[in-house]
């Protein structure tokens, strides 16, 4: 059985500040960092939308679990990201390390390529902060 990891306040503060600076202040609508059980570690928003964070987190965790099981059935080793392009908002999910998922909600003014570049540069920072 895996042992739960303890995340200190200073780690969460660093993560929140980094996500705010790198994502929210560049136009991303909402960012939520969760663990694989759907527990919210931090969430940030530009205030334009009011999401049910707990439902979003738990559904994301369940979705990642289901898609990971499907990928296992076809021999794919692991799920690293998911993306949905909506009519008004898009949602991007990215696995961080083995235990966390970063959720980003963004509108049509942000390109997927821009977000992926931001996420690529953030991944190492988040991994360092979470280990």
Q: pLDDT (tens digit, 9 = 90+) per residue, 26-63?
A: 999 999 999 999 999 999 999 888 889 999 999 999 99
Task: Look at residue 1 in the predicted model and tell me its pLDDT.
Answer: 47
Task: Look at residue 131 in the predicted model and tell me its pLDDT.
Answer: 83
CATH code linked to domain 9-130: 3.30.450.30
Domain boundaries, the chain: 9-130
Q: Which residue has the higher pLDDT, 1 or 46?
A: 46
Question: How many helices (H) and strands (E) would you count in the chain?
Answer: 3, 5
Helices (H), 1-131: 9-22, 53-73, 112-130
List the beta bridge partners of residue 59: none
Q: pLDDT (tens digit, 9 = 90+) per residue, 4-27?
A: 578 889 999 999 999 999 999 999
Give yes or no for a contact between 92 and 115, defined as CB atoms under 8 angstroms apart.
Answer: yes
Q: Above 80 in pLDDT, residue 3?
A: no
């Amino acid at each position: 059985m895996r042992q739960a990891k303890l995340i200190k306040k200073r780690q969460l503060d660093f993560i929140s500040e980094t996500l705010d600076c790198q994502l929210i202040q560049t136009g991303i609508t909402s960012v939520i960092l969760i663990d694989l059980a759907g527990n919210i570690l931090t969430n940030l928003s530009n205030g334009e939308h009011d999401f049910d964070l707990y439902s979003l987190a738990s559904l994301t965790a369940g979705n990642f679990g289901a898609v990971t099981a499907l990928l296992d059935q076809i021999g794919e080793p692991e799920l690293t990201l998911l993306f949905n392009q909506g009519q008004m908002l898009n949602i991007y999910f990215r696995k961080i390390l083995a235990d966390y998922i970063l959720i980003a909600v963004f509108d049509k003014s942000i390109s997927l390529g821009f977000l992926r570049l931001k996420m690529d540069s953030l991944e190492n920072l988040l991994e360092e902060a979470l280990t």
